[in-house]
Amino acid sequence: MEVKIQLHDTMQRKKRPFEPIDPENVRMYVCGPTVYDRAHLGNARPVVVFDVLYRLLRHVYGADHVTYVRNFTDVDDKINATALARKEAGAGGTLEELVHQRSDETIGWYLNDMRALGALDPDEMPRATEFIEPMVAMIEDLIAKGHAYEAEGHVLFAVESYKEYGRLSGRSVDDMIAGARVEVAPYKKNPMDFVLWKPSTDDLPGWDSPWGRGRPGWHIECSAMSHELLGATFDIHGGGNDLQFPHHENEIAQSKCAHPDAGFANYWLHNEMLQVEGKKMSKSLGNFFTVHDLLEQGVPGEVIRFVFLGTHYRKPMDWTEEKAVDAENRLHGFVELIAQYGDVDDAMKLRPEQAIIDALADDLNTHAALECLKKMNGSDDANALARNLIFLGFFSEEALSARVSTYRNGVDSLRRIAQKLHDARQRAMKSKDFSEVDRMKHILSLANVSVRMSKDHVDLRPEIDFDPAKLEGL
């Protein structure tokens, strides 16, 4: 069945049928993190959103016909500051080596945290520092075409040279000057002009260029990397709506002026921001936390993903404890149903549910997709449920198989333990010594097993976070 994808294009402010430039080579670029520290919960939202789109595109066009690029910005003042602090604390190596070490460290953290949320690695994950030459070449070209100028060791983009500047965000240059915190500098011809290249001191990371030793501005990085890896025109450019201005606006200006005959990105997608318990996440409010924080507190990655997908990507998402608990209960119930009636190997022979594909094809309506999952609650739905949980990224095939196997083995153990507990209770009723019954109930509680006892029967039920390993004492 042909799938017709509709995506909301920020540039045109409406949903449009998705028509790739080349169905054999669908291309998507998403702005990635500046790797100076752990990713906070808000950083994770675009990762999950565009992972769902990536999965949909792979399903529709074939995994070999989709290229997803998400970059790492690994040259930044905050990274430099951390490296400098380490050097001052006695760390060995040059400052440049310490900067590289810090980037490696934070990139590793980031990928591990995002994988825990079920996100597939993109096909390409370029680092900005690997593409300095293309950036320098693009800047030289912009100067030659009259779109950029050198001033006091800096190179700046002349905003007035690009007549469509502001089209993405829908604001005029005057509005942007009034509403933005633009860097005031005496060498700027226009307050809105932005840096393409800036000087770097000898002790900080820098590269030789026609304008002296320096490093690129943030915006030119994505323009150069997307051009090198996806071409002058590609299908989709995405990111959080906080990047719409100035970052994406500046990318468009640079790229279209460098390649005036190309279209840059044909579709622009932006996700809304994240709140915590109805308030903006901030350190001052004490509601700021990283993905790693939640994982360390025992919140499973699939639970975070479930909460995220419960809200449409273009609406503000509110992370609440209540939603997390509900998501954990839902997912536990799904695993329980599959363990009782399903087979993961057989499930993988099925195609994802058409209703779920249709929901995602309608501008990533993940809420509707989750509603489809919730309706799969009968014994005949177990395999379809398993297949769609894997398709939506809540579990890999291996992880779901392991979870189901653990559950089944635990349930088998519980049958034997239930009989032992029943016998112990019968003896206690006669001896009035309930110490063994209490010991067994305590161990079952530690393993997250609920206990219901009647005169003739003991019922043991595994709950969320059921841990069979803790049953060894029984």
Give binding residues for Zn(2+) as ranges. 31, 222, 247, 251
Measured in whole angstroms, the distance separating CA 288 from the mean position of its chain's CA atoms is 17
Beta pairing class for 66-70 and 26-30: parallel
Euclidean distance between CA atoms 259 and 269, whole angstroms = 22
Return phi, psi of residue 270, to 5°: -135, 130
**Residue 254 near residue 138, CB atoms below 8 Å:** yes
Euclidean distance between CA atoms 173 and 287, whole angstroms = 35
Q: Is 21 exposed, middle or buried (0-12, 13-18, 19+ CB in 10 A)?
A: middle
**Residue 383 near residue 346, CB atoms below 8 Å:** yes
Q: Which residues are annotated as a binding site?
A: 31, 222, 247, 251, 283
**Residue 452 near residue 422, CB atoms below 8 Å:** no
What's the full length of the chain, in residues? 474
Q: Which residues are annotated as a binding site for ATP?
A: 283
Q: Which DSSP category does 190 fall into?
A: S
Beta pairing class for 279-280 and 274-276: antiparallel
Euclidean distance between CA atoms 282 and 288, whole angstroms = 5
In 3-state terms, what secondary structure has residue 30?
A: strand
Q: Which DSSP category does 75 fall into?
A: -
Encoded tokens for 206? 């820098």
CB atoms near residue 377 (< 10 Å):
12
